[in-house]
Structure 1
Amino acid sequence: MPGLNLKVQAISLSQRIYQVLVAAILDGHFKPGDWLRESFLCEELGVSSTPLREALQQLVHEGLAERIPNVGVRVAVLDTEDVIEIYDLREYLERLAICLSIKRRTVEDLIQLEELQRQGYAALQKNDLIAYREYNKKLHNLFLTIAGSRRLRVVTSSLQLQIEVVMARTILFPGRPMRAIKEHGDIIQALREQDAELAERLIYEHIRQAKEELILRLCSKE
């Protein structure tokens, strides 16, 4: 196959900057509405403006930031309508994933899920919300993996970062992480018993609870 370059390309500087900024947004270092000033970020990260602008543009494309004409780029501010749309899409996709997982799940899958639960409880005992957020992401991604649908994973991945943003906000609510991890345990038990109706209802209620809590707090600030 002449002319085909099969060498693995190293990650670009702009992509590394993008990953740093995503982590800073998810960790709450940059909050909704915070301006991502080029001069500040170039100095803080020790980079030039060109790769930084490419990274900022990717953030805008992914919906994590928004560009205000003649002003600059800021972390996206999610209103109630945005939250409802993200959660409604997430609910549909994860309910489908759980339904597909019921017959496909293996003993090994259940062991992996229980190990993640152990990691989640360990993170809560240490009050390590960053580790808890990582556990939460891995658990929901494992549901997708067990479902075994490549197309479902592709569709979900297009919303992944926006889903992570709202998840990162809800785990800051007092008591929500403990409630959520217990809900995860109930979902896993339904998978173990291969109770499709119960599993689908539990994942629906799990997502609905998080949505309602976030909407309540957004409305209280308006």
Structure 2
Amino acid sequence: MQPLPKTSRDGRSLVDRVYAAIRDALVAGELAEEQLRQEDLASALGVSRTPVRAALNQLTYEGLVSPLPGIGFLINEPTADDVVELYQVRLNLELLALRLACGRHNASSLARLNTVIADMSVVDPADLAKRFELNVRFHELLFEPCGNSILIKMIDSLTEHPVNLRISRTHTPDQGSVNESIRDHQEILDAMTAADLDSLVALYERHLEVWREDALVKIGAGTRSTITS
């Protein structure tokens, strides 16, 4: 980890910036130690122990680390229960956003979605950060017309959840998986363009089922089955 700048232009508090730095380092596998010490993290980031302690408490609440009294914090690996719980919440919230957004897209928003899919097709599968960015952007644009700001904020919080980040940004997909993902996104967009709610819901349910199965395989808790359209 690099020391944090003394000031930030993004408006976040020091605790929030320390939290994001530690979370991102954990997600990226930069912190491979079994135990994390507040003193070491504070030194690496160039801050006091106080914001580090607050950040680790938040990461403990989210299940990414566990406290070891008198020693430090233990890095937790995602479990099957973590994946299933995240999937269940995503399924219900994102399907609600889709239903609200269906029929509300205009030519401009559909064009932006098509551009994102085109960008997905040319990104190196090994560029996990860019692939994650494009995937997030697609879903943001897909849900944008739903008209419910509270719902959008809740979905955004799931996107940034440490379990989702660790699963999405630490495993390089093969080209076959990339092609399948692009096809799925295109089919979802086609159904949204046609305002075909029944097809849209069915396609999106399958899309999230594939995410759940892939996530379980990535953490060594499942076997991928083939789902055809």
TM range (shorter): 0.7 to 0.9
State the Cα deviation string for residues 48-72 of structure 1 (Å, max 9, x = none).
2122212222323344333344442
State the Cα deviation string for residues 115-135 of structure 1 (Å, max 9, x = none).
22223223236x322111111
Matched, 1:54 2:34: no
After TM superposition, the score normalised by the length of structure 2 is 0.79
Unpaired segments ≥5 residues, structure 2: 1-8, 224-229
Q: Distance in 2 between matches of 1:28 and 1:207?
A: 25
Check the 8 A contact 1:80/1:215 in 2, yes or no. Answer: yes
Point out the structure with the larger helix share. 1
Root-mean-square deviation (CA, aligned residues, Å) is 2.7
- Equivalent in the alignment of 1:153: 152
Check the 8 A contact 1:67/1:74 in 2, yes or no. Answer: yes
Q: Distance in 2 between matches of 1:143 and 1:77?
A: 31
Matched, 1:101 2:62: no
- Equivalent in the alignment of 2:181: 180
Using the TM superposition, give the Cα deviation of residue 83 of structure 1 relative to its aligned residue in structure 2, in angstroms. 0.9
User: What amino acid is the match of 2:196?
Assistant: D
Give runs of aligned pairs for residues 1-222 of structure 1, distance below 5 A. Answer: 10-30=11-31, 34-124=34-124, 127-162=126-161, 163-169=164-170, 172-174=172-174, 175-217=176-218, 218-219=220-221
Change (3 A) 1:146 1:64: farther
| Percent of aligned positions that are identical | 27
Check the 8 A contact 2:36/2:72 in 1, yes or no. Answer: yes
State the Cα deviation string for residues 25-51 of structure 1 (Å, max 9, x = none).
3333346x8433223222322222122
After TM superposition, the score normalised by the length of structure 1 is 0.81
User: What amino acid is the match of 1:159?
Assistant: L
Change (3 A) 1:65 1:105: farther
Count of aligned residue pairs for this structure pair? 211
User: What amino acid is the match of 2:138?
Assistant: L
Check the 8 A contact 1:65/1:75 in 2, yes or no. Answer: yes
Unpaired segments ≥5 residues, structure 1: 1-7
